[in-house]
């Protein structure tokens, strides 16, 4: 799945979808998709990512207490 890095605007390929969907995980493994060479995997903070359309991630992906509100 591709997400967008809010700071750079570049696409990030998320390598672990279970980490992305887990609200208890603060970071996900991924790699930038910019330039001609494949970037090395890195950890990205989930709050720094969004959908390529500009939408935020669903609250249930980032907030472990989303059901209590």
* Dist CA 69 CA 30 (whole Å): 30
The pLDDT of 21-34, averaged and rounded, is: 94
Q: Specify the pTM.
A: 0.85
Closest CA to 15 of 37, 34, 31, 27: 31
Asked if 9 and 27 count as a contact pair (C-beta separation under 8 A), the reply is no
pLDDT of residue 69: 64
User: Edge to edge, what strands does the sheet with 11-14 contain?
Assistant: 42-45, 27-33, 11-14, 2-5, 49-50
Max Cα-Cα span within the chain = 45
43-66 per-position pLDDT tens digit? 999 999 999 999 999 999 999 998
């Amino acid at each position: 799945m591709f997400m967008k890095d809010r700071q750079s605007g570049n696409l990030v390929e998320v390598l672990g979808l279970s980490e992305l969907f887990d609200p208890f995980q603060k970071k996900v493994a991924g790699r930038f998709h910019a330039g001609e060479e494949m970037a090395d995997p890195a950890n990205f903070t989930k709050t720094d990512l969004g959908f390529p359309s500009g939408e935020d991630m669903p609250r249930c992906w980032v907030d472990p207490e989303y059901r209590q509100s």
